[in-house]
Amino acid sequence: MSRARPGLVRSAMSPTRDRMIATTAHLLRAQGFHGTGLNQITADALAPKGSMYHHFPGGKEQLAEEAIRYYADVVLSLLEHCLENPDVPDALDAFVGALSHQLERSAFLDGCPVGLTAMEAGATSDRLAAATQAAFDRWISAVARRLEKDGVPDAHERATTVIAAVEGGVMLARAHRSTAALRAISRSLAPLVVSCG
């Protein structure tokens, strides 16, 4: 009877719900968890405030959790797409380039909601800490798998370094309002991601 199996295609459940998650992810990038109010989220998502409580009984924390999950998915797709490149330094460059492009297009408003939330609320909320941890793990694993395939030694450690440096690069980019740091990082990291490095 064509009813969505609950838990299977969550994103098909409700357009309002999805809009709220996407809006939250977006606002989280620019303002962080504490800087983003429910009023702004519902206003930007054109959602009534009463729906908040219906779709996200866990409140703002649940909403942020799902927004992080959503954003982690999006970035993972981008990352995996880039990693299809035969050359890993090129892949890294493409990934960093995409992030740089987003930063520039948004006047350096769109940072990384995962890293920001990890630093803001990671120590307070177990729920958000778990969500950010999972996001990082998935990204690191994606890179690590590619490095392993290429026979790069210490694949997981290096993948961790790559993700950390990119996150730090986004941070620097926001502070400097320039993507120069990101480009520098991409170049410096090249030797780390090749097997002869």
Residue 194 is a binding residue for a copy of itself (CB under 8 A): no
Q: How far is the CB of 74 from a copy of itself (least distance, A)?
A: 18
The only residue of 21, 25, 28, 47 in contact with DNA, by rule CB under 7 A: 47
Ramachandran bin of 2, using left for φ above 0, alpha for ψ from -120 to 50, beta for the remaining angles: left
Which x/- pattern over 117-156 shows residues binding a copy of itself (rule: CB under 8 A)?
A: -xxxxxxx----x--xx--x-----------------x-x
Q: How big is the chain, counted in residues?
A: 197
Phi (first) and psi of residue 3, to 5 degrees:
-85, 140
With CB under 7 A as the contact rule, the residue among 7, 8, 50, 86 that binds DNA is 50
Candidates 51-59, 97-105, 116-124, 176-184; binding stretch for DNA (CB under 7 A): 51-59
**Long-range contacts formed by 96-105: CB under 8 A, 24+ apart:** 96/166, 96/169, 96/182, 96/183, 96/185, 96/186, 97/186, 99/166, 99/170, 99/182, 100/173, 100/179, 100/182, 100/183, 103/170, 103/173, 103/174, 103/179, 103/182, 104/179
Confirm or reject binding of residue 174 to a copy of itself (CB under 8 A): yes
Residue choice 32, 44, 60, 184 for contact with DNA (CB under 7 A) = 60
Residues that bind a copy of itself (CB under 8 A): 30-35, 107-109, 111-112, 114-116, 118-124, 129, 132-133, 136, 154, 156-158, 160-161, 163-172, 174-177, 181, 184-185, 187-189, 191-192, 197
